[in-house]
């Protein structure tokens, strides 16, 4: 048996403040876990890049860590929203060298206790599910390997291996699989002719007289702030969430400006939005986050086309243009990652047409204390 302790860390106000060393150690664990499970260091991030999110007043977080002989070997995150009192989003991550020692279970239970103390009654966990050796990750998650028992998502799209440690633990703790999420990776640069052809296909369904693109680097221009906060809010309700029943996440111009200011200097946002010309309203957008550190891979942030404007290939139009913008401003970047629900076939079709390929699958799990 391994002796370990679990404690809550205070989040440092800066990386020069007290507690910064432990915060960095927790980020090291995060990176070791995610790189091991995903098989690519594209998913690693620096403490400098992550700290602004931890200080976001709209999404307060609790950070728990497990120590063995004083060393931080696991971390647990419990995230809430100030304008929503029911839901807690949680994840427990154990360094690969310290798994199967009971740390993950103990950390998960400690996270649940922290969430209960905040009055939360619904828990959502996103847990990567790497395939067992010989399981065939991409084929297994999409349809299932014949010789491996699967847990199917009730959406009818995707499954996770029943024998994986995280699946066994979550089921034992009373969680139900609601959705499978695909992580996809795109090597850069994308061929310019491919992007041009994608844009041409999209424009056949979305002529410029009806739908006009607007792109910007970093902060949102004043004339588009109201439209962007509306789209950010709709992102929480319009994106497929299966039986998770994700609550609305309301954005305001004040919150947008605060978010942009807190991330200044650590990452740059590349945004392309589409205006419905007859109404003058923004009806879709996509955003890529580019770390200031040149050796870090960018990642796809939100992409949304409002339901009432779907069917015009606006998703393809937006993503092709924003990839072109990325390659114009950051030609040194060599890959980009994105995550989508397996049932979101339209967006997966867009990604696949642009060259994205799967590299990891996650189970999205729910536990409702009112039903336990």
Question: Is 358 among the domain residues?
Answer: no
How far are the Cα atoms of 56, 115, 158, 209 from residue 87, in angstroms, in the given order? 17, 9, 24, 43
Residues 59 and 142 reside in one and the same domain: yes
Question: Is 35 among the domain residues?
Answer: yes
Residues 215 and 284 reside in one and the same domain: yes
Residues 15 and 36 reside in one and the same domain: yes
Q: What is the CA angle 181-182-184, rounded to 5?
A: 150
Residues 178 and 257 reside in one and the same domain: no
Question: Is 354 among the domain residues?
Answer: no
Sign of the alpha-carbon torsion through 265, 267, 268, 271: negative
Residues 154 and 206 reside in one and the same domain: no
Residues 116 and 210 reside in one and the same domain: no
Its domain, for residue 243, covers: 189-333
Question: Is 324 among the domain residues?
Answer: yes
Q: How far is the C-alpha of 224 from the C-alpha of 55, rounded, in Å? A: 26
Phi, psi of 184 (to 5 degrees): -125, 150
- Other C-beta atoms closer than 10 Å to the C-beta of 346 total 16
For residue 319, the domain's CATH number is 3.40.630.30
Residues 31 and 129 reside in one and the same domain: yes
pLDDT tens per residue across all 372 residues of the chain = 789 999 999 999 999 999 999 999 999 999 999 999 999 999 999 999 999 999 999 999 999 999 999 999 999 999 999 999 999 999 999 999 999 999 999 999 999 999 999 999 999 999 999 876 444 444 344 445 556 899 999 999 999 999 999 999 999 999 999 999 999 999 999 999 999 999 999 999 999 999 999 999 999 999 999 999 999 999 999 999 999 999 999 999 999 999 999 999 999 999 999 999 999 999 999 999 999 999 999 999 999 999 999 999 999 999 999 999 999 999 999 999 999 999 999 999 999 999 999 999 999 999 998 765
Residues 49 and 175 reside in one and the same domain: yes
Residues 84 and 173 reside in one and the same domain: yes
Question: Is 252 among the domain residues?
Answer: yes
Half-sphere exposure of 309 (CA within 13 A, CB side): 21
Rounded to two decimals, the pTM is 0.93
Beta-sheet strands, E only, within the chain: 5-9, 61-68, 71-81, 84-94, 122-128, 150-152, 159-161, 176-187, 211-217, 267-276, 281-291, 299-305, 335-341, 357-368
Residues 230 and 124 reside in one and the same domain: no
Q: How far is the C-alpha of 226 from the C-alpha of 55, rounded, in Å? A: 24
Residues 47 and 174 reside in one and the same domain: yes
What is the separation, in whole angstroms, between the first and last Cα of the chain? 30
Question: Is 345 among the domain residues?
Answer: no
Distant-in-sequence, close-in-space partners of 134: CB < 8 Å, separation ≥ 6: none
Are the CB atoms for 336 and 355 separated by under 8 Å? no
Residues 116 and 209 reside in one and the same domain: no
Parallel/antiparallel/unpaired status of strands 299-305 and 84-94: unpaired
Question: Is 344 among the domain residues?
Answer: no
Domain count of the fold of the chain: 2
Are the CB atoms for 299 and 288 separated by under 8 Å? yes
């Amino acid at each position: 048996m391994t002796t370990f302790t679990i404690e809550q860390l205070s989040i440092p106000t800066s990386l020069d403040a007290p507690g910064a060393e432990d915060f960095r150690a927790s980020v090291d664990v995060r990176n070791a876990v995610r790189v091991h499970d995903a098989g690519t260091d594209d998913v690693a991030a620096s403490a400098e890049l992550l700290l602004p999110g931890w200080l976001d007043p709209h999404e307060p977080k609790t950070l728990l860590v497990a120590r063995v002989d004083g060393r931080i070997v696991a971390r647990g995150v419990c995230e809430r929203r100030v304008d929503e009192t029911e839901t807690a989003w949680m994840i427990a991550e154990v360094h690969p060298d310290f798994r199967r020692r009971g740390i993950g279970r103990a950390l998960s239970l400690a996270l649940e206790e922290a969430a209960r103390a905040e009055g939360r009654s619904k828990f959502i966990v996103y847990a990567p599910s790497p395939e067992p050796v010989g399981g065939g990750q991409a084929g297994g998650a999409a349809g299932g390997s014949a010789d491996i028992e699967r847990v199917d998502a009730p959406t009818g799209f995707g499954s996770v291996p029943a024998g994986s440690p995280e699946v066994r633990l979550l089921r034992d703790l009373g969680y139900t699989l609601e959705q499978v999420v695909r992580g996809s990776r795109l090597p850069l640069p994308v061929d310019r002719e491919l992007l041009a052809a994608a844009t041409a296909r999209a424009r056949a369904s979305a002529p410029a007289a009806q739908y006009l693109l607007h792109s910007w680097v970093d902060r949102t221009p004043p004339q588009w702030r109201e439209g962007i906060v509306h789209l950010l809010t709709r992102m929480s309700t319009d994106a497929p969430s299966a039986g998770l029943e994700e609550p609305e996440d309301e954005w305001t111009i004040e919150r947008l400006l605060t978010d942009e200011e807190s991330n200044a200097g650590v990452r740059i946002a590349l945004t392309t939005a589409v205006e419905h010309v007859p109404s003058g309203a923004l009806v879709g957008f996509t955003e890529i986050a580019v770390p200031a550190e040149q050796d870090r891979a960018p990642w796809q942030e939100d992409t949304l086309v409002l339901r009432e404007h779907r069917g015009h290939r606006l998703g393809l139009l937006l993503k092709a243009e924003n990839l072109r913008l990325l390659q114009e401003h950051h030609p040194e970047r060599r890959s980009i990652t994105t995550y989508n629900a397996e049932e979101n076939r339209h967006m997966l079709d867009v990604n696949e047409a642009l060259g994205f390929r799967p590299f990891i699958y996650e189970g999205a799990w729910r536990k409702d204390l009112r039903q336990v």
